[in-house]
Amino acid sequence: MNNCNVLILGEKLTFMINALVTNLKKEGYTVEESGFDIKNIAPHEESADVVVLFADNTLLEKQDVMAYLKDSCMEKGKKMVLIGVKEEINAVSAYIPSHLWADIVERPLDVTAFTAKLDALMNKGEAEGRNKSILLVDDDASFLQLLYGWLKNDYRVGMAKSGMQAITWLARNNVDLILLDYEMPVVSGLQMFEMLKSEQFSKDIPIMFLTSKSDRESIMKVMKLKPDGYILKDVNKEQLLTNLEKFFRKEKS
């Protein structure tokens, strides 16, 4: 097992957390711990390969922490694992949808089995590292989550809700394709496209537009910018995966 960094979030230092920390360190993991405080979480999170969250009643009162973790999962692509009893898991899932978690584990926790599960998750992550990566840029959070759920098993997926978030993400990550909403507010898809094509670090990244307008005039307006393609927002999962497969096959050839 390669050395990986695990950040464990829990407000109470319980026997279960201590046992898990001991077992993870024994298996070669580097482990850091933090309570449910954003100022304490943030410095450790950057270096963490996976974040393990022990849910309890204290967390359910910290809506700001759950919002922060949701953004981290969506925007930074952090692998996150949720541990809790069924009621706690359901409560947390009201703030952070279940499909965003890399894994969800109900208590009581078997630390040996959990460590093996974490090994499998990290090994899967290494395998996924060989796949193509896609950045989704759209101001509609629900649509972002829908696309993420469709793509996460076949691609490494990053998400941004604005042009500025996309620029920040691209400064830290390499990407093989950007799916860009054409009709974003503030900084439009057109402006974002031109911005990306003018920057040295992003000018060669393929960009496909996401658009809800399917009439000929709108499509011609989109294609006049010479993107690498466009995808209608009423696309279904099968159509989207097929379009992306064709795009990457064409790129390879």
Residues 124 and 9 in one domain: yes
> Looking at residues 99-112, what average pLDDT do you find?
88
Tell whether 72 and 139 lie within a shared domain: no
- Give me the domain span that covers residue 180: 133-252
Question: What pLDDT, on a 0 to 100 scale, did the predictor assign at position 82?
Answer: 94
pTM of the entire predicted model: 0.55
Domain stops at, among 128, 151, 179: 128
Which domain-ending residue is among 83, 101, 128? 128
CATH code, 205: 3.40.50.2300
Q: What is the pLDDT of residue 76?
A: 66
124 and 9 within one domain: yes
What is the DSSP track for 15-81?
Answer: HHHHHHHHHHHHTT-EEEEE-S-HHHHHHHHTT-SEEEEE--HHHHT-HHHHHHHHHHHHHS--EEE
Top-confidence residue, 249 or 158: 158
10 Å CB burial of residue 240 (0-12, 13-18, 19+) is middle
Compute the average pLDDT of residues 55-74. Answer: 85
| The pLDDT of residue 1 | 47
Confidence of residue 173 (pLDDT cuts 50, 70, 90): confident
Torsion over CA: 208, 210, 214, 217 (sign) = negative
**One domain, residues 20 and 120:** yes
Q: Residue 129: pLDDT above 50? A: no
Q: What pLDDT, in 10s, does the model give residues 201-241? A: 888 899 998 887 766 766 676 677 788 888 888 889 989 98
The torsion angle over the Cα atoms of residues 229, 233, 239 and 240, rounded to 10 degrees, is: 60
Q: Domain count of the chain?
A: 2
Asked if 70 and 10 sit in the same domain, the reply is yes
pLDDT of residue 105: 93
> In the prediction, which pLDDT does 125 show?
54
Residue pointed to by tokens 């042009």:
163
Once rounded to an integer, what is the mean pLDDT over residues 175-188? 85
Q: Which two tokens stand for residue 52?
A: 């393990």
